[in-house]
Amino acid sequence: MSKDDHHVLQDRTAGFVTRLFAYIVDLILLFGIVAIGGWVSVLVDTALERMGVTTNISMAVIYVWSIPFIIGAYYVMFWALTGRTVGKWFMGLKIVDKNGRPPSIGRSLLRLIGYGLSAIVFWVGYAWIIIDDQRRGWHDHIAKTWVVYDYSRRAGGEIYDDYRERVDAAE
Amino acid sequence: MTEQTSVEALPYVSGADRHRTIVRLVAGGIGEGVDRLMAIASSLDAADVESDTVEPEPIHADPTMMAILGWVSEIPIQVKAVADSTSRVTYPVTRTAEVVWDTAAFVARATGATAFVEGFTEPFLVAWQEERERLASVGTAEYARGRVLVVEVFEQSVGGIMGFIGESEELGDLVREQTLGITGSAVREIRETGAAADGLTEGIFRRLLGRDARTVPPIPATASE
């Protein structure tokens, strides 16, 4: 693939395999975050026990119940703030709304619900990306978002965006 | 910046003064270069604002960035020229040239112009290897003086260039971007493989469904939403 191909790909909707890679990277990262959190909660429980502090429910149990919220917060926060999770950033992808901007928090929450719906029927909602004319999964349709390639001339979308913003501001 | 002396004056300077003179010459040259880089960086910012061009050129096609890299790449060649004009301090100066070259190569890598610099790297490193073999018999006193000179010049050159990078928004961005860039080519390869696999997977399924395979991915149909 040449540099010209990158220009062709820039801002076009991304396909299933790239998005799957990004998803796997996010899963690995989330697994690490959850594992570290679990380890910390067990340490806290142990420390409390040694200090003779008794509680009705252990930190580890509270933590386990909070895991879905941690995962949800990870996605919503990254989508709404930057338009990309770590996995999507790694794969050179970004999520945009109809105005080409990162989705709002409300739209991100909707997309998160869409994630659940896409997965609930044997992940058909994700596989939909392969056959959809716009390469969108169910969650994309629900939240009215697109996942696009974010390649730039200098392999740094942020730098390119900053540059465009500065030029636009100057004009 | 440090006072500079011409190369021609060197043979008439003796002893410790001679070493100090060379340090001044090298450090002064580097200092001048850093000043030039700063000036270019300032004009770059101004050019960005005034430019009508909204799309930045790739770095290899950017004459200003290439001017910067070209100058940085010439540092070791200049230093080597100084070394060749002397006899007693060849080792420290050539060693310094190597260090400065490493710095230049770092800047070049950081700004993504690795391929450009490779053209300079190879002949220089070959010359350096030959020089090092020739200097293998240099005595310990010379070596000790060399270390002092190397440390002094190293601090000035690296400090100056790193300071420049730190102050330059343009280069700073590029360095930060290319910090990933150490593994950047690997990441790029993964992205390219993914993008190619996107098209392949889609092509197979679209054929199975009796549709034509797309040659380029679709643009978001935001207007229709």
Determine the distance in angstroms separating the CA of A159 from the nearest CA of chain B, rounded to an integer. Answer: 7
pLDDT value of residue A109: 95
- Residues of A within 8 A of B199 (CB-CB) are 15
Where do the H-state alpha helices sit in chain B?
Answer: 15-50, 63-84, 90-110, 114-134, 140-167, 169-181, 184-208
Rounded to the nearest integer, the mean pLDDT of chain B is: 56
What pLDDT is attached to residue A158?
46
Report which of B43, B44, B38, B6 is spatially closest to residue B22, judged by C-alpha positions.
B6
Residue A141 has pLDDT above 90, yes or no: yes
- For the segment A122-132, what is each residue's pLDDT rounded down to a tens digit? 889 999 999 88
Share of chain A above pLDDT 90, in %: 48
Cα nearest neighbour of B191 on chain A: A91
Q: Examine the pLDDT at B143 and tell me if it is beyond 70.
A: no
Q: What is the CA radius of gyration of chain B?
A: 24
A contacts of B194 (beta carbons < 8 Å): 17-18, 21, 91
Asked if residue B142 has pLDDT above 60, the reply is no
What's chain A's average pLDDT?
83
Judged against a pLDDT cut of 60, whether residue A26 lies above it is answered with yes
For the stretch B86-110, pLDDT in tens is 444 455 555 555 556 665 555 555 5
Dihedral sign of CA atoms B57, B60, B64, B69 in order: positive
A100 conformational bin, left if phi > 0, alpha if psi -120 to 50, beta if neither: left
Answer whether A155 touches B (CB < 8 Å): yes
CB atoms B49 and A170 under 8 Å: yes
For A155, the closest of B51, B54, B188 (CB atoms) is B188
Specify the higher pLDDT residue, B185 or B218: B218
| Alpha-carbon span B190 to B13, nearest angstrom | 58
Sign of CA dihedral A85, A90, A96, A102: positive
Q: Looking at the partner chain, which of B54, B191, B218 has a beta carbon nearest the beta carbon of A13?
A: B218
Top pLDDT among B9 and A53 is at A53
pLDDT higher than 70, residue A42: yes
Q: Which residue has the higher pLDDT, A165 or B14?
A: A165
Q: Cα dihedral angle (A92, A112, B218, A165), rounded to 10 degrees?
A: -50
In this model, does residue A138 exceed pLDDT 70?
yes
Q: List the single residue in B with minimal CA-CA distance to A169.
A: B49
Which residues make Cβ contacts (< 8 Å) with residue B185, sequence separation at least 6?
A: none
Give the mutation candidate from B198, B202, B207 for the A interface (greatest A CB count, under 10 A). Answer: B198
Res A117 pLDDT > 90: yes
CA B216-B221-B225 angle, 5° bins: 160
Per-position b or e across A62-94, b if 16+ CB within 10 A of its CB:
ebeeeeeeebbebbbebbbeebbbbbbbbbbbb
Confidence at residue A46, expressed as pLDDT on a 0 to 100 scale: 85
**Higher pLDDT pick, B37 / A36:** A36
Q: Which residue has the higher pLDDT, A92 or B14?
A: A92
Mutate to test the interface with B, among A6, A18, A153 (most CBs of B within 10 A): A18
Q: Cα-flanking dihedrals φ and ψ of residue A96, to 5°?
A: -130, 155
Q: In the predicted model, what is the mean pLDDT of residues B144-148? A: 49
**What is the tens place of the pLDDT at every residue in B14-62?**
444 444 545 555 555 555 555 555 555 555 444 444 444 444 444 455 5
Crossing angle of helices B15-50 and B63-84, rounded to 10°: 170
pLDDT band, residue B3 (cuts 50/70/90):
very low
Q: Chain B partners of A144 at a C-beta cutoff of 8 Å?
A: 225
What percent of chain A shows pLDDT beyond 70?
83
Contact A153, B174 (CB under 8 A): no
pLDDT of A77 higher than 80: yes
Which residues 6+ apart lie within 8 Å of A83 measured at CB?
Answer: A94, A95, A96, A101, A102, A103
Domain ranges of chain B: 7-181, 187-215
- Least confident residue range of A42-51, A162-171, B17-26, B76-85: B17-26
Candidate from A9, A133, A158 with C-beta closest to B195: A9
Whether residue A107 has pLDDT greater than 90: yes
* pLDDT score at A16: 93
Instruction: Specify the pLDDT at position B144.
Output: 47
Please report the ipTM that was assigned to this predicted complex: 0.77
User: Higher model confidence: residue B180 or residue B95?
Assistant: B95
pLDDT value of position A28: 93
Residue B110: its pLDDT value, please? Answer: 54
* Cβ-contact A132, B220 below 8 angstroms: no
Q: Greater confidence, B40 or B200?
A: B200
Give me the percent of chain B exceeding a pLDDT of 90: 0
Residue that wins the pLDDT comparison between A107 and B159: A107
* A84 or B183: which leads in pLDDT: A84
pLDDT value at position A159? 42
Rounded to two decimals, the pTM is: 0.51
Interface test with B, best of A153, A158, A162, A164 (most B CBs within 10 A): A153
pLDDT of residue B214: 75
Q: Is the pLDDT of residue A90 over 80?
A: yes
The CA dihedral of B88, B91, B97, B103, to the nearest 10 degrees, is -140
pLDDT of residue B165: 52
